[in-house]
């Protein structure tokens, strides 16, 4: 792993060798942030993302070398976004995480908080999820603080389910909203920028050469708030780290300097 590179606006970039190293580095951050949160506050609040890399990270966390290193009993798990499908669907972020690794670790069921996609509508589900986050985080007012939020970046620059040109990009009050994504013709439920901004640590995981050009535009290109939603992610009092593999970093000027 190279040293972190400081980017403008308080963002950090960390480049690792390949997809395996990316999942391993994410798993180590998961252990470190949950352990520190439990030591400081008695519990950890984490948001997982959909996508392939967090799944690999989770599979690692379920392996013997990580057994006993994650304080599962004191860790509340949420998802930064969800698809409007039943948990049993292979499209379900929470369902896939359960099948990939949560069923294999001692995470108490009452600490696993999937979006309720069996409610009457995505609007209801988003409202209920916001209420659940407030209930668990203990914040009736103000913005709840996640100890760790994992994100990914899509080829089109989306993150969580903040897609280019969609209404959720403009939400300033709600913590979680439903977001219709016209190009996919689907409803999503997503964290909003204000909730992300309140986190202690946000980790954006990006792997593979197919993401290289978008990543360069997001981290080093001109500001495109409508076109590249992941570019607008900021953290106010915590850290925001883009953890990427060498292939994804291939078009970055800043990563080139580090060799
Ligand atoms: C989702 C995600 C989404 C994802 C990116 C990157 O539910 O689709 O949460 O934002 O993180 O699309 O996915 P990959 O890491 O699989 O490329």
CB–CB of 58/93 below 8 Å?
no
Q: Which of 49, 52, 91 to mutate to test the pocket of ligand 1 (most atoms within 8 A of CB)?
A: 49
pLDDT at res. 3? 84
Ligand 1 shell residues, CB under 6 Å: 49-53, 81, 93, 152-154, 158-160
Mean pLDDT for the chain overall: 96
Proportion of the chain above pLDDT 90, given as a percent: 91
How many residues are there in the chain?
259
pLDDT at res. 147? 98
Decide which of 3.40.50.1360, 2.60.40.1730, 1.10.10.10, 3.40.50.1000 is the CATH code for 5-251: 3.40.50.1360
Q: How far is CA 111 from CA 72, 77, 99, 102, in A?
A: 9, 6, 16, 11
Q: Find the 104 Cα to ligand 1 centroid distance in Å.
A: 22
Sequence spans of domains, the chain? 5-251
pLDDT at res. 54? 87
Ligand 1 atom closest to the Cα of residue 208 is 17
The pLDDT tens digits of the residues spanning 149-162 come to: 999 999 999 999 99
pLDDT at res. 256? 72
CB–CB of 219/168 below 8 Å?
no
pLDDT at res. 1? 61
Residue 57, H or E segment = helix 52-61
The pLDDT tens digits of the residues spanning 174-193 come to: 999 999 999 999 999 999 99
What value does the mean pLDDT take over residues 118-130? 98
Q: Find the 42 Cα to ligand 1 centroid distance in Å.
A: 30
Ligand 1 atom closest to the Cα of residue 188 is 7
Which residue do the tokens 């069996």 mark? 118
Q: Find the 179 Cα to ligand 1 centroid distance in Å.
A: 15
The pLDDT tens digits of the residues spanning 228-242 come to: 999 999 999 999 999
């Amino acid at each position: 792993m190279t040293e972190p590179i400081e980017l403008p606006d308080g963002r950090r970039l960390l480049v690792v060798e390949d997809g395996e190293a990316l999942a391993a580095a994410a798993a180590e951050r998961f252990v470190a942030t949950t352990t520190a949160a439990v030591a400081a506050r008695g519990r950890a609040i984490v948001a997982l993302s959909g996508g392939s890399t967090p799944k690999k990270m989770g599979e690692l966390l379920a392996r013997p070398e990580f057994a006993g290193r994650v304080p599962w009993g004191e860790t509340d798990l949420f998802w930064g976004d969800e698809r409007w499908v039943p948990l049993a669907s292979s499209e379900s972020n929470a369902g896939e995480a359960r099948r990939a690794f949560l069923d294999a670790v001692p995470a108490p069921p009452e600490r696993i908080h999937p979006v309720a996609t069996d409610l009457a509508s995505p609007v209801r589900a988003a409202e209920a999820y916001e209420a659940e986050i407030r209930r668990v985080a203990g914040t009736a007012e103000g913005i709840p603080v996640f100890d760790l939020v994992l994100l990914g970046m899509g080829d089109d620059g989306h993150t969580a389910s903040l897609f280019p040109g969609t209404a959720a990009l403009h939400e300033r009050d709600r913590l979680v909203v439903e977001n219709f994504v016209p190009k996919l013709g689907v409803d999503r439920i997503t964290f909003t920028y204000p909730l992300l901004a309140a986190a202690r640590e946000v980790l954006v995981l990006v792997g593979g050469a197919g993401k290289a050009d978008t990543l360069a535009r997001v981290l080093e290109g001109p500001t495109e708030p409508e076109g590249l939603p992941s570019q607008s992610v900021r953290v106010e009092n915590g850290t925001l780290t883009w953890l990427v593999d060498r292939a994804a970093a291939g078009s970055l000027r800043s990563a080139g300097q580090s060799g």
